[in-house]
Amino acid sequence: MHEVGIISGVLDAVDKSVAANHADKVYAVNLSVGEETEVIKDCMDFAWEALTPGTVCEGAELHVNMIKPKSVCLACGNEFEHDRFHNDCPKCGSYETQLIAGHELTIDSIDVDIPDDESAEDSAEEPQENSDANAAPHTPDASAAEAYTDAMNSYADSLKSEYRQAPTEEEKRSGDHEMQNEKESQK
Amino acid sequence: METVDIKQPVLQLNDKLAKENRENFAKHGVYVLNILASPGSGKTSTIMATIDALRDTYNIAVIEGDIASNVDSERIAKLGIPAVQVNTGGACHLESDMIKRAVDQLDLDNLDLILLENVGNLICPVDFDLGENAKVMILSVPEGDDKPLKYPGVFQASKAVILNKIDTLPMFDFDQKAFEDHVHALNHEVPVFPISATNGQGVDAWADWLSKHIEDAHAQQGE
Ligand SMILES: Nc1nc2c(ncn2[C@@H]2O[C@H](COP(=O)(O)OP(=O)(O)OP(=O)(O)O)[C@@H](O)[C@H]2O)c(=O)[nH]1
Ligand SMILES: [Mg+2]
Ligand SMILES: [Zn+2]
Ligand SMILES: [Zn+2]
């Protein structure tokens, strides 16, 4: 059941993207999962239900796009879809084939609301009085962030061994670094 | 509503650290084997038999992944082989950051081979690259010859398959030919090594295969 770990990684990435894009409500998270991975869709759904309450993804849908295995024959160039058990070329019978699809495990995109005032100017100005009532509950305020952190921490604690320690400063920095680049390219 | 592209591998951090591990191993000319199998199939016994066969030729260390105990690493340490225990604290597989920390406790300069015992599980460990040179899977006779049909992923990901506990073949209706056919349908050219880790039968052929791969890794480092 590493689906729980996978979903917690997904939530982490979504959280960063939501912050980088100043989005508020998340409607859906779209993943691509190859059928040749060991990921089971039902377990993903279960993990989603278990982990999203209290996070930015609370109430959002998880869309898992399962991708059929596809290979190319190195002998005759034929491209063909197949199941997990047969990857020999149906045209020439060769076993010299290479998987070109079916091993994905990717966060494709998220469907979100980006409030107009946020996209117009980046500054975190005081929201107008009587601002849209429906925007308020989803604004990532301090208590939501705290609830999210708590949920993640208690999950992490349950998995963490005595051996594992928090990421080193170096790991943190390199992880942040990648997010930074992404943020920049989106601007 | 708008769609924001993310296009990011879910296991990005794991894959990144796995790549760093792999570069570190290559730099030191250490060959690393990621051993996958069910609980009780004989992973630790096979590691001990492999040590027995190769310890005069190579400097070996073991990393033992286990949910909680350190029983296995103690078995290895008794042989006078460096053994690092990694407890996953309930997680069903090893991840590359755990290996990175475990490796910090080993003297890579003076090692040729690291045997890595993953958590007993035929499913989850397959998706997690640790930076190893090769995954090998062990199936034991009592588990049945139909396992490739139920767990295709692990058989496809492996560079060699060990069939352990062949001393028990007379006790079970295990069809060795059917097993090898199932394996080869999934992974056409993968070698299958029938062994008994406890009485040593077949271990030489397995050890020869492994030696050849260690030598290849050494040769590549020399280039
Ligand atoms: N008859 C026979 N028994 C074996 C063989 N290999 C291992 N065993 C026995 O199988 C049991 C489990 O062996 P281990 O080597 O501890 O198996 P493991 O896969 O490391 O087990 P876990 O780490 O607990 O998942 C022990 O009682 C071994 O003595 C073999 O080749 N033949
Ligand atoms: Mg063991
Ligand atoms: Zn699992
Ligand atoms: Zn063909």
Higher per-residue pLDDT: B151 or A123: B151
Q: B 86-145 residues with CB below 8 A of A?
A: 86-93, 97-98, 101, 123-124, 126-128
Spans in chain A with pLDDT lower than 70: 1, 117-187
Query: Exposed e or buried b for every residue in B142-151, given b needs 16+ CB within 10 A?
Result: ebebebbeeb
Question: Tell me, what CATH number does B89's domain have?
Answer: 3.40.50.300
**Domain containing residue A44:** 1-115+126-140
Which helix H or strand E contains A106, and what residues bound it?
strand A105-112
Query: Which residue's CA is minimally distant from atom 12 of ligand 1?
Result: B40
The verdict on A132 and A155 lying in the same domain is: no
Which chain A residues touch B12 with a CB distance below 8 Å?
Answer: 9, 13, 178
CB A145 within 8 A of CB A61: no
Average pLDDT across chain A, whole number: 75
| Residue B8 is assigned to a structural domain of this protein | no
A2 to B91: CB separation less than 8 angstroms, yes or no? yes
pLDDT at B87: 87
Q: What is the CA(B220)–ligand 3 centre distance, in A?
A: 35
A23 to B4: CB separation less than 8 angstroms, yes or no? yes
| Residue A120 is assigned to a structural domain of this protein | no
The Cα-based distances of A148 to A25, A94, B57 in angstroms read 15, 51, 53
Q: What is the CA(B184)–ligand 4 centre distance, in A?
A: 18
pLDDT at B54: 98
**Domain containing residue B84:** 15-219
- Structural domain count, chain B: 1
Task: Report the percentage of chain B scoring pLDDT > 70.
Answer: 99
| Residue A155 is assigned to a structural domain of this protein | yes
B4 to A21: CB separation less than 8 angstroms, yes or no? yes
Residue B136 confidence (pLDDT) above 70: yes
Residue B72 confidence (pLDDT) above 80: yes
CB B168 within 8 A of CB B195: no
Mean pLDDT of B114-118: 97
| Residue B143 is assigned to a structural domain of this protein | yes
Ligand 1 pocket, residue B138 CB under 6 Å = no
The verdict on A76 and A24 lying in the same domain is: yes
Query: Which residue's CA is minimally distant from atom 13 of ligand 1?
Result: B42
Report the 10 Å Cβ neighbour count for A121: 9
| Residue A121 is assigned to a structural domain of this protein | no
Ligand 1 pocket, residue B168 CB under 6 Å = yes
Three-class SS string for B142-200? Answer: HHCCCHHHHCHHHHHHCCEEEEECHHHHHHCCCCHHHHHHHHHHHCCCCCEEECCCCCC
Which chain A residues touch B127 with a CB distance below 8 Å?
Answer: 2, 37-39, 105
The verdict on A78 and A159 lying in the same domain is: no
The verdict on A83 and A99 lying in the same domain is: yes
The verdict on A93 and A54 lying in the same domain is: yes
Average pLDDT across chain B, whole number: 95
Interface membership of B222 toward A (CB under 8 Å): no
Question: Tell me, what CATH number does A47's domain have?
Answer: 3.30.2320.80
Interface membership of B153 toward A (CB under 8 Å): yes
A111 to B2: CB separation less than 8 angstroms, yes or no? yes
Task: Dump pLDDT digits (tens) for B121-132.
Answer: 999 899 999 999
Of A13, A87, A163, the CB nearest to B87: A163
Q: Rounded to a whole number, what is the largest CA-CA distance in chain A?
A: 71
pLDDT at A154: 52
Task: Dump pLDDT digits (tens) for B180-198.
Answer: 999 999 999 999 999 999 9
Mean pLDDT of B82-92: 87
pLDDT at B220: 79
| Residue B3 is assigned to a structural domain of this protein | no
| Residue A71 is assigned to a structural domain of this protein | yes
Closest of B63, B160, B76 to residue B114, by C-alpha: B63
Phi-psi region of B42 (alpha: psi -120 to 50; beta: other; left: phi over 0): left
Residue B142 confidence (pLDDT) above 50: yes
CB A88 within 8 A of CB A97: yes
B10 to A10: CB separation less than 8 angstroms, yes or no? yes
Which chain A residues touch B149 with a CB distance below 8 Å?
Answer: 85
Lowest mean pLDDT among A156-170, B80-94, B162-176: A156-170
The verdict on A135 and A145 lying in the same domain is: no
Number of H helices, E strands in chain A: 5, 6
Chain centroid offset of residue B161 CA: 10
Report the 10 Å Cβ neighbour count for A88: 17
Three-class SS string for chain B? Answer: CEEEEEEEECCHHHHHHHHHHHHHHHHHCCEEEEEEECCCCCHHHHHHHHHHHHCCCCCEEEEEEECCCCHHHHHHHCCCCCEEEEECCCCCCCCHHHHHHHHCCCCHHHCCEEEEECCCCCCHHHHCCCCCCEEEEEEEHHHCCCHHHHCHHHHHHCCEEEEECHHHHHHCCCCHHHHHHHHHHHCCCCCEEECCCCCCCCHHHHHHHHHHHHHHHHHHHHC
Of A114, A160, A175, the CB nearest to B89: A160
Lowest mean pLDDT among B3-12, B50-59, B109-118, B138-147: B3-12
Ligand 1 pocket, residue B70 CB under 6 Å = no
Confidence tier at B91 by pLDDT (50, 70, 90): confident
ipTM of the complex: 0.81
Amino acid residing at B206:
W
Ligand 1 pocket, residue B133 CB under 6 Å = no
| Residue A21 is assigned to a structural domain of this protein | yes
Phi-psi region of A78 (alpha: psi -120 to 50; beta: other; left: phi over 0): beta
pLDDT at A140: 38
- Structural domain count, chain A: 2
